[in-house]
Copies of this chain bind each other. A is one copy, B any other.
């Protein structure tokens, strides 16, 4: 059923059986890759499930894109821009040397942000399509744009989506902002009923040139009702990092999470302090332990340890996360 749903929605992106879909995301616990693969196969298009994440894989993928000339790309928006940069460094022009006519994305809000969309379309010469509700709600493409790119349609016959008021939890009228809540209509295993996904969007039922009458999210998903953030397609809760730090004897209670975008890929820096009781000599050991425990939880982070009292104390959880990525406040972005 997931394959059926994704094939229908990918048809809406403009994908056809004669397309070859390059899947440039990690095949493991990340639902994105598997969902794109299932949809591609059911649609009858050719899948090129290349994956991502292994050292050296990007360069190799670029060689294959030049060779095989796939027509559709799937991945995260930031990875597509990272690939383009690598390509140029290798003397490859992503527009001329590749053959992408559709690039569809999930895992990050970027593809729905006008400035990022424009950058991707200018870089590759294909259309940039935003999709993705949340992994728990797979088939996750049921928030998905059509080829007209007027915001993600909500495919209500597969997963019933509502936007609700953040406080009262009552349904928000069209034209207003709310928190995404989803209900599975087709799943036999782990069906979710009114699942609080916690993303913030506004919705409308204005007509779309494609003729579909589903409501739409014209600005995509642009915020969170809690402090979760998304880095390289993975959901991260600051509380999980907090638990790791507070579980290591010798580290102080205060911490910061700094998220930067070096060129095009996200980096997370975790800053923590030595506790006043701990011997300064064990600092390298503490650092290695913190990095190791984060890594074991799938959190790729640069760890910086500081002397006690270096970090400003804050009462507000959210202030511990400093997001320097500027996805939404790009000066070129009219929104």
Contacts and interface: CB of A to CB of B under 8 A. Distances in A.
A176 to B, nearest CB: 40
A29 B24 CA distance: 12
A300 interface: yes
Interface stretch (A46-54, A267-275, A309-317): A46-54
Nearest to A293: B59
A295 B61 CA distance: 11
A88 interface: no
A298 B28 contact: no
A67 to B, nearest CB: 12
Contacts of A90: 296
Given A27-B27, A28-B27, A300 B49 contact: no
A307 to B, nearest CB: 28
A298 B292 CA distance: 27
Contact of A56 (B27, B49, B60, B296): B296
A300 B261 CA distance: 27
A250 B63 CA distance: 25
A174 interface: no
Interface in A217-268: none
A334 interface: no
B53 A53 contact: yes
Contacts of A34: 49
A55 B296 contact: no
A26 interface: yes
B59 A295 contact: yes
A28 B56 contact: no
A49 B27 contact: yes
A90 B34 CA distance: 30
Nearest to A37: B27
Interface string A25-50: 01111000110000000000000011
Contacts of A55: 55, 295, 300
B54 A297 contact: no
5 contacts: A27-B51, A28-B49, A56-B296, A59-B292, A59-B296
Closest 9 A/B residue pairs (Cβ) = A27-B27, A53-B54, A28-B51, A56-B295, A59-B296, A60-B298, A27-B51, A28-B50, A54-B54
Given A51-B51, A60-B296, A60-B298, 6 more contacts: A27-B28, A27-B49, A28-B54, A55-B300, A56-B300, A63-B296
